[in-house]
Structure 1
Amino acid sequence: MTTNIAVVGLGLMGRRMLSALARQEELVCRWVWDRDAECTGEVAAEFGLPAAESWQAILADGSVRAVYIATPPASHGEYARAALAAGKPVFVEKPLTVDLTDGEDLVRAAEDSALPVVVNFPFATLPGLARIRRELADGTAGAILRADIQLHFSQWPRTWHHAGAWLNGPKEGGFLREVFSHFAYLTHTLLGPLRLQNGTVERPAGETERWAMARYLAGGVPVFLSGGAGGAAPDFNRWTLYCENRCYRVEDWSKVQVSTTEGWQDLPPDAGESHGLEMQLVEWSKALRGESHALATALDGAQVMRAVEALLNI
């Protein structure tokens, strides 16, 4: 049985989602739409999909069961609440929103509607995550000592960021919202919500941050962040969890390793685990069927947003 959805927001992530949808059969894109009419037409032609005349037309279409939202972050709350009011579950890109009150309103709307609202943090389906969680719980890893998050970007926005205007603006953009949020979610899902203890951010007036350093606590565990943009070195991201008996490392989005004092080795995933948007869609399908799923909830997204915005507003 197939489920009709609409894809709203046709920038980089919207197009990636359309490509992933084309590689599976359960979720069918009924409409594409972007507030830029020219973009809507181009993407509809590129993917051979029908273009909606308006956002209101999508809301009014009873055949559309759910909506994927990949618009700029400041508009996520508005679109998501409208979809929920129309009885349509939502899969929204991260960050949930960029305004704390807006995010809290969306969490309440999700709770009141009793419809699934999930957030696209791909680490939710990271191969190896289940094993890390299991080894933390059963004592194999030993006492959890600290987590480190390291980020570097040779420039921001990056060269492949086509929607550079908002990505380089202080209202919605910057690497803390766009990238740190992923690793904040990874930490959150393993250790608990992050609470900022102290930090510093360099952000020129009217621009996004150039560098940031911070100390958080997550479930009583210290979490250290160091990130910056600028400098002639390759981009990289690395998350490391230091435990008494074992340590775990995630870098470059999908490389998962475990170590003892003898060195690092790749961490084999559990049977059936795979990574990427296709797995996110498998889990979204479960959510739409009312089944247990692995995706981040609206509450998860709001807690991650609080951790990020707390540092940006320090």
Structure 2
Amino acid sequence: MDFSNAARELYGVDPDEFVETRTRLVREAKKAGDAALAKRIGGLRRPTVSAWAVNLLARAAAGDLGRLLDVGDELRAAWGAGGGGLGELEGRRARSVDGLLREAESLAAGAGHPLRDQALREVEDTLQAATVDAEVAAEVRAGTLARPRSHTGFVPAGFPVAPEGGEPRTRPKKEREEKGGKAGAKDKPGEAGKPRRRAESGRPSGRAAERDRTARDRTARDRTARDGAARARRAAALRERAAEAERALAEREAEAASARDAADRASAEVGRLRHELDRAAAARDAAVRKAERAGQARDRADDAARRARRKAADAGGDARGR
């Protein structure tokens, strides 16, 4: 057992089983004589619900997640190359993130941990950050997140401000020389086609700031739309579950009514059988009494016959004596 495999196993279990699994892995590492590995595993923290949901995606939706991370690679490459094709990549990213959010919501609900709005936002933030930051992308791909991730700002860290329309905004050298000979602070000489970076003060130029605001507004609108869609899906799911519960209740009530009817019929049958049993018992008692009376009559007839025979015998003896 090594640390990577132990971490992947640990972050793949249900959050309720995390502590128990971690204890087992620490015990196994100690048993193998690797105290350092046991200490590293013991230091792993239980994931938040949102981080666990992203880890679920890394296992159950690895293909879709990999395609999103590939889009992130293309986005970072496009930023580095001057911004060409960003619109199409942004659209692919938005669609991929939306699909993965639905998948995460379904997987988490199926595992008994439905995602609330805050957790869904954290899942989305983590997926967006993974398309901007290669280190976050590696964590997401490994499926061993303990906490959600986020990236502040629209432009990836370390990348220049995207030029308008994907074309460089630096003026040709000849034009700069005609207007002053030396390039100003905002137009430092450089390789042709190299995108202008943020001003040394750390603030973007007015046009760049406006593009950033536009991009952030678009991202906010997309997020609002996705939040609304997610709420609508949850509401629809709740309505469906309520309808299913009502159908199940109606079925149980029908089964209960049928059971009551069957019980009533069984009770009536028991009553009928008891009545017949009582009648049979009465008939048996009457037959016993009749048999007893017949026996008594037979006994009386036998007694009468014996008396008659004795009387006849006595009469015959008297006649012989005379």
What TM-score do the two structures reach when normalised by structure 2? 0.28
Which has more helix, going by share of residues? 2
Structure scoring higher RCO (CA < 8 A, sep ≥ 6) equals 1
Larger Rg, first or second structure (1 or 2): 2
Which has more strand, going by share of residues? 1
What TM-score do the two structures reach when normalised by structure 1? 0.28
